[in-house]
Amino acid sequence: MTEHNLGKWHHIFDGHGKTFTINGQQIAMFSIDGELFAFDDVCPHVGASLGSGKLEGKLVTCPAHDWQFDVTNGECISVDRCDDGCYVDTYPVKIENDEIILSLPS
């Protein structure tokens, strides 16, 4: 894993998503009660940005066709539309010295 410093964490507000591009990879990030969650931004359906989706509780709704994902583990809960086992990859993220540190596979 390689750590990436993404800047000040307070630029991500609770309940709102933010997207980052790191070495060409799109990453979505949400804050829930001050805890950060990071996962692939590209929806596995047809590629809309999950980071621009609406967050309710720990579920983000894809803005294109309303599939829902649990931001804490990446699992798709729209089982009626998504094949069993559909998910987005999640990544470790922490706050150090008021800055976001995201770990991605090397």
Interacting span for ligand FES (CB under 6 A) from 5-13, 19-27, 59-67, 91-99: 59-67
Q: Is 62 in the site for ligand FES (CB under 6 A)?
A: yes
Q: Is 71 in the site for ligand FES (CB under 6 A)?
A: no
**Left (φ > 0), alpha (ψ -120 to 50) or beta: where does 33 sit?**
left
Q: Is 48 in the site for ligand FES (CB under 6 A)?
A: yes
State which H helix or E strand residue 43 sits in: none
**Left (φ > 0), alpha (ψ -120 to 50) or beta: where does 66 sit?**
left
Q: Would you tell me which residues interact with ligand FES (CB under 6 A)? A: 43, 45-48, 62, 64-65, 67
